[in-house]
Amino acid sequence: MRANDRPDHDLRPITFVPGYVRNVPGSVLCEQGHTRVVATATLEDRVPPFLKRSGRGWITAEYAMLPGSSGNQRIARERSKINNRSGEIQRFIGRALRTVLDHRALGERTITLDADVIQADGSTRCASLNASFLALVLALKHMVYEQVIADFPAFRPVAAVSVGVRDGQLLVDLDYEEDAHCDSDINIVSSADGALIEVQSFCEGQPLPRELFQEAVALGIEKNGEIISLLKKAIAAAGIPF
């Protein structure tokens, strides 16, 4: 039985709190079960060297688990060098968010999304991506209101969810205990129309049958639709057109 008698295909309660951090173009607190992530979006008038004089902007991300986020065993702060896990997750977030809009709409500017996990109970990469997407959209609103860009650009809502396989059963939105004991852990990123952006699948001990993998992906796309509905409500409440 899952925690709180949660059905296998149900998400944990998800709450987005826009504007959680003052004085940045975009910020969000995401609470997903007992996982809590603060995402902030900052803006710079520069781009990586390969985009200079291209007229295109850039979207990138950083991710970290803060000391104390996983309990009393303190996680050391990442200072000059990130660990392999954090580097892989921030690339995961950055790749997904670069599909959200046409980068020409930004001009030669960089938006950096910082996702900081303040409390971890599984699925931190997915919660971080979802929070970062909303922080990005709020940053776009700031750019329009501050006349950095002329018009609000069209954007594509995206979301991420984890699906685990345990004893042949599919479990949605894994908490820490489930993640630690699943045979497979699959992270699915998709858009509002159900298009796939990224799928990460990991096995521990037991190979994953193809048919079950396909069921997991289809379930992940369905659940991402539910998360995107919550994101759209937050976007509409912020007065942002979409």
Quick: pLDDT tens for 93-124.
999 999 999 999 999 999 999 999 999 999 99
The answer to the question of residue 107 being in a domain is: yes
Quick: pLDDT tens for 73-91.
777 776 656 678 899 999 9
- pLDDT class for 72, splitting at 50, 70, 90? low
Rounded to an integer, what distance in angstroms lies between the CA atom of residue 162 and that of residue 170? 10
Average pLDDT over residues 30-57: 97
The total of structural domains in the chain comes to 1
pLDDT computed for residue 80 by the predictor:
59
- pLDDT class for 67, splitting at 50, 70, 90? confident
CATH number, domain at 27? 3.30.230.70
Query: Could you list the residue range(s) of the whole structural domain that residue 214 is in?
Result: 3-237
The answer to the question of residue 242 being in a domain is: no
What is this structure's pTM? 0.94
The answer to the question of residue 178 being in a domain is: yes
The answer to the question of residue 147 being in a domain is: yes
pLDDT computed for residue 132 by the predictor:
98
Quick: pLDDT tens for 181-192.
999 999 999 999
- In this structure, the strands spanning 196-203 and 184-191 are antiparallel
For residue 242, pLDDT over 90 is answered with no
Quick: pLDDT tens for 181-220.
999 999 999 999 999 999 999 998 789 999 999 999 999 9
The answer to the question of residue 123 being in a domain is: yes
The pLDDT mean for the chain works out to 94
